[in-house]
């Protein structure tokens, strides 16, 4: 948890700190991310960081929580009960998700790293928890959808969960690799969205979800 000092910081300064730290942890894994680089980028003293957070792990945990909150803000509007079936819902989750990737590319990348690329022992316990939770949530989903007829009952729940998780990771990777440049250019130039890229992305997501539907329905 961050200290009072950090919370009392001028919004501008606090936000600059968060962004720079996020960038460092999004581009490097936990072990390689360097507090030295962060303070040099921000032109602040080493001691400040330790007045805001007890240590590196504390900072990482805060960034994780912060990013998850940002993501929830973008996703919470997508409500399962408003969709006729799981598939349109799941599709929209990713379609809406792209807005998060565009508006919060650092958070998005950081979370992507946490979910699929991080392997430092210092943070593994927190990530493992995270994955177990994700699996539990998906398991409930799949069981519900089996009753709704969105997913056929003959397929093994655990395997369906595995299948869907793998697909989610796949779409995540797609965004990080194929569309990241477009997203970054967008942000840097403050131009309107690269509409073609976004449309292409949406089409890809739709096709992938269609495949998922073929497999599971």
Query: Which of 157, 124, 156, 155 lies closest to 138 in space, CA to CA?
Result: 157
Q: Cα dihedral sign for 31, 35, 37, 38?
A: positive
Query: Which of 176, 181, 208 lies closest to 196 in space, CA to CA?
Result: 181
The reply on whether position 55 binds DNA by CB under 7 A is yes
The reply on whether position 120 binds a second copy by CB under 8 A is yes
- Give dist(CA 64, CA 161) in Å, integer: 24
**Token pair in block for residue 174:** 């797609």
Query: Which of 148, 158, 14, 16 lies closest to 86 in space, CA to CA?
Result: 148
Per partner kind, with CB cut-offs from 5 to 8 A, the member of a second copy, DNA, none near residue 47 is DNA
**Token pair in block for residue 33:** 């991310």
Phi, psi angles (nearest 5°) of residue 192: -60, 160
Answer for which of 15, 36, 129, 144 binds DNA (CB under 7 A) is 36
Query: Which of 25, 66, 113 lies closest to 35 in space, CA to CA?
Result: 25
The reply on whether position 45 binds DNA by CB under 7 A is yes
The reply on whether position 167 binds a second copy by CB under 8 A is yes
Answer for which of 27, 50, 80, 126 binds DNA (CB under 7 A) is 50
The reply on whether position 16 binds DNA by CB under 7 A is no
Per partner kind, with CB cut-offs from 5 to 8 A, the member of a second copy, DNA, none near residue 45 is DNA
Neighbours of 156 (CB within 10 A): 10
Closer residue to DNA, CB minimum distance, 36 or 169: 36
- Interface segment toward a second copy; rule CB under 8 A; list 17-25, 75-83, 141-149, 165-173: 165-173
Element (H, E) at 65: helix 56-75
Answer for which of 48, 120, 157, 180 binds DNA (CB under 7 A) is 48
- Interface segment toward DNA; rule CB under 7 A; list 47-55, 86-94, 113-121, 205-213: 47-55
The reply on whether position 111 binds a second copy by CB under 8 A is no
The reply on whether position 166 binds a second copy by CB under 8 A is yes
The reply on whether position 185 binds a second copy by CB under 8 A is no
**Token pair in block for residue 59:** 């900072």
Rg (CA), the chain: 19
The reply on whether position 4 binds DNA by CB under 7 A is yes
Contacts to a second copy by CB under 8 A:
28-29, 31-32, 113, 116-117, 119-120, 155-156, 159-160, 162-163, 165-167, 169-170, 173-174, 204, 207-208, 211-212, 214-216
């Amino acid at each position: 948890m961050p200290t009072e000092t950090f919370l009392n910081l001028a919004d501008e300064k606090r936000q600059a700190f968060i962004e720079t730290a996020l960038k460092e942890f999004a581009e490097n894994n936990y072990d390689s991310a360097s507090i030295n680089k962060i303070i040099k980028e921000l032109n602040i003293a080493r001691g400040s960081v330790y007045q805001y957070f007890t240590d590196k792990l504390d900072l990482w945990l805060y960034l994780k929580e912060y990013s998850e909150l940002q993501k929830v803000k973008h996703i919470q509007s997508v409500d399962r009960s408003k969709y006729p079936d799981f598939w349109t819902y799941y599709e929209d989750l990713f379609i809406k998700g792209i807005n998060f990737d565009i508006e919060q590319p650092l958070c998005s990348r950081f979370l992507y790293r946490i979910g699929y690329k991080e392997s430092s022992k210092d943070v593994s316990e927190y990530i493992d928890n995270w994955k177990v939770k994700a699996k539990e949530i998906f398991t409930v989903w799949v069981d519900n959808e089996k009753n709704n007829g969105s997913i056929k009952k003959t397929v093994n729940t655990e395997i369906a969960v595995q299948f869907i998780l793998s697909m989610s990771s796949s779409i995540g990777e797609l965004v990080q690799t194929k569309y990241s440049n477009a997203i970054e250019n967008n942000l840097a130039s403050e131009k309107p969205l690269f509409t073609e890229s976004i449309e292409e992305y949406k089409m890809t997501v739709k096709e992938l979800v269609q495949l998922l539907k073929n497999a599971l329905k």
